[in-house]
Structure formats: C-alpha cells, structure tokens
Amino acid sequence: MSKQLNIGFHLMRVDENSLQDSLRLSNRLYPWSLRENEANILYSLVKNNNLTSGFEIATGFGVSSISIGKAFKETGGRLSSMDAYVEELLGYGLYDHTTHKIKTGTPDGYLMATSMSKALEIDKHTNFDIGWSPNDTSLILDKNEQDFLDFVFIDGGHYPQQVILDLSSVIDKLAYDCIICFHDYGCVGQDSLNLLSKYRFTKFIDYKTGFSLVSYGRGHVNIEI
C-alpha cells in the first residue's frame, strides 16, 4: 500500500531477507518501526479492553500509530501521536535527552503516517503532532482535548533518562483503568519502575518479542494476549 500512496518513498524491511523484521522508509536509514507481531499486540490491547483515549511517543512513520488507530476506530476512541523526527533529521539513532532537535516543515515520517492514516480511513481517530517530549506533551494533549488517557505507548528516545521524562509527562493524566506499553524494555530504568509501582501498576507482561515489548496495567484491564 505504501507504494500506491505516491509520496516519493515507501516502506521496506530493514533486513530485506526477513519477513518479520522492522520497517524503515525507503529513503531513510532511521527510524525503525515495531515488528508486525508487536503492532498486532498493541491493536489487541486497545480493542480487547475497549480503550478510548491513547497517547504515543513516538510516531516514527506511523506503523505503531496505524495499529493503535485501527483499534480506536473500532472502540470509537482516539490516539495522539507525537514525534520530534530527530532520528530522521540526524540520520541515525544515537542522541540523548539533551539533544532537543525537532525537524520542522513536513518530515517524511509525518507525511507517511498521515497519508496511511487517511488511506486506511482512520484519520478521525489519529492526531499526528510534531514536538519534543516532554516539553510539548501537555500542549499537544490539551490541543487534542485529551484530558485523560487509558492507553500509553512509549517508544521514543531509547535511554532511561528519556523514558522517565516521557512517563512523568503523562502519569498524572491517566485513567485508573489503564495500560502503559514500552518498547525496548531494556531502556526502562529504575526511576521509571519506581514511578510505575508508586502509581500502582501492578500487572506486568513481557510479550517476549524480538525487541522486548512489555505492558503494565492498573485496574480493570486485561494485558494478556
């Protein structure tokens, strides 16, 4: 489908010999997406729990957002997805929370995510915004009129100092019945684990996917797949 969008680039496997691997844009080495089995898990979590208000850091070029958005179409919910497009800007994935660089204009990842969302008719259920987490998070959620969240997916900067900033920026906006997912669990540091425990996220599952996708749950949610 991404070739039919006619936007000058398309989705391709990072490793062309592996049907299971992450995707990237054909004109960019970074960022990389979730794998298909991981995207399916996000879809099921939202749909099975009938969740309605989601937030994602970060869009990349929309693979995770599309899965979550498809589920929200079924539950009548909505996703806010944000990205600074810092990996697209730098051309690599090595940076940290002090980098604070935002690609302005229309980043390729933004164009791909919004085009796919429109083509799949989930654009009423997805908002894509450009911003740096955590600085712009509240502004974006306020703009999108999302004053509570019952689903959060954290897959932005992959180091503990960023993950705690991402998590702290949303922790007070969460409904009691809520799921938080992290990709690349190895980047979730002790500060984040302590915060999750303080806020009573006692349910936990590691889905044992290639890059380690995990969920934390609180209240009446089922995080088993």
Ligand X SMILES: C[S@@+](CC[C@H](N)C(=O)[O-])C[C@H]1O[C@@H](n2cnc3c(N)ncnc32)[C@H](O)[C@@H]1O
Q: Give contact residues for ligand X (rule: CB under 6 A).
A: 31-34, 57-58, 60, 63-64, 82-87, 132-133, 155-157, 162
Q: Which is nearer to ligand X, 92 or 176 (CB)?
A: 92
Q: Which is nearer to ligand X, 53 or 133 (CB)?
A: 133
Rounded to a whole number of angstroms, the minimum distance from the CB of residue 176 to ligand X is 26
What is the DSSP code string of 162-225?
HHHHHHHHHGGGEEEEEEEEEESGGG--HHHHHHHHHTT--EEEE---TT-EEEEEESS-----
Whole-angstrom distance, CA of residue 44 vs CA of residue 224: 9
Rounded to a whole number of angstroms, the minimum distance from the CB of residue 202 to ligand X is 26
Rounded to a whole number of angstroms, the minimum distance from the CB of residue 74 to ligand X is 20
Contact 100, 132 (CB under 8 A): yes
Q: Which is nearer to ligand X, 158 or 219 (CB)?
A: 158
* Residue 114 main-chain phi, psi, to 5 deg: -70, -35
Q: Which is nearer to ligand X, 161 or 197 (CB)?
A: 161
What is the DSSP code string of 49-118?
TT--EEEEE--TTSHHHHHHHHHHHHHT-EEEEEE--HHHHHSSS---TTT-----S--HHHHHHHHHHH
Q: Which residue is nearest to ligand X (CB)?
A: 60
Rounded to a whole number of angstroms, the minimum distance from the CB of residue 186 to ligand X is 13
Q: Which is nearer to ligand X, 13 or 177 (CB)?
A: 13
Rounded to a whole number of angstroms, the minimum distance from the CB of residue 23 to ligand X is 7
